[in-house]
Amino acid sequence: MMKMINIDGVDVTLMFWDIAGHERWKTMRPMYYKGSSAALIVGDLTQKSTFDAIVTFWAPDLRKHAGNNIPIMLIANKCDLPREATPEDVDTCANEIGAIGSMETSAKNGDNVEEAFLLIAKASIARI
């Protein structure tokens, strides 16, 4: 997905890739990570295990291929549904991966999605 955003008069193009967790795509992930200036990592509030996987696999995999200095924002998605993961689970995950912050969102109804895009774009600009 591509998203255009304007920050203080600067046009920023954001490119988002949904990196599939399937084993058959394992060799493709480094190509998507390469050249990234920031990242959103999304956990599913209805499945606590997704936050564990972010800590043990996804964040280390991203940092391995995109570098240790890449700003990461943790997105806790599906805030519109009954939760299995607690706010404490999200905070712990964000701290363990060194995220610049975390935000609850709902892709279904759009809650905080634009705000997440704006924050990660600002982090990307600051890095440059």
Q: What is the pLDDT of residue 23?
A: 66
Q: Is the pLDDT of residue 81 over 90?
A: yes
Residue 46 is predicted with a pLDDT of: 98
pLDDT tops 80 at residue 6: yes
* Residue 16 confidence (pLDDT): 86
Burial profile 82-115: b = 16 or more Cβ within 10 angstroms, e = fewer? ebebeeebbeebbeebebeebbbbeeeeebbbee
Q: Per CATH, which fold does 37-127 belong to?
A: Rossmann fold (3.40.50)
